[in-house]
Amino acid sequence: MQTERAKAPVDFTTLQLHNLVYEKSHYLKAIKACKDFKSKYPDIELVPEEEFFRDAPKDIKDLALSKDSAHNLMLKRLNFELYQVNIRYSVAKYYLEYLAFCN
């Protein structure tokens, strides 16, 4: 009886230790998976930075989308790409309407 009472805290502490070891291995696996992740970021073809700084509207250049400057620049360049696509879409739509009106 006395042995069981003395053993209980040791068993509890051992169980806590096993749980922490398991949790540590889980986190290490998650960290490895994140480090091994291959994103499409290097393969994305964006407007060159020089063109972005030369042609992008001021409101897009002045956006603060992230605290990380490299990530912020990437987001601004993506927004500029979207801006350019929207302009091309509007011009194409206007041109098609014009053609339909002329015929």
When divided into structural domains, the chain yields a total of 2
Q: Is the pLDDT of residue 46 over 90?
A: no
17 versus 73: the higher-pLDDT residue is: 17
pLDDT at 89: 95
CA distance 61 to 52: 8
Residues 5 and 25 in one domain: yes
CA distance 92 to 103: 17
pLDDT tens-place string over residues 82-93:
999 999 999 999
Residues 45 and 32 in one domain: no
Q: Which domain holds residue 45?
A: 39-103
CA distance 76 to 58: 11
What mean pLDDT do residues 64-89 have? 88
Residues 18 and 46 in one domain: no
- The answer to whether the beta carbons of residues 47 and 80 sit under 8 Å apart is yes
CA distance 47 to 88: 15
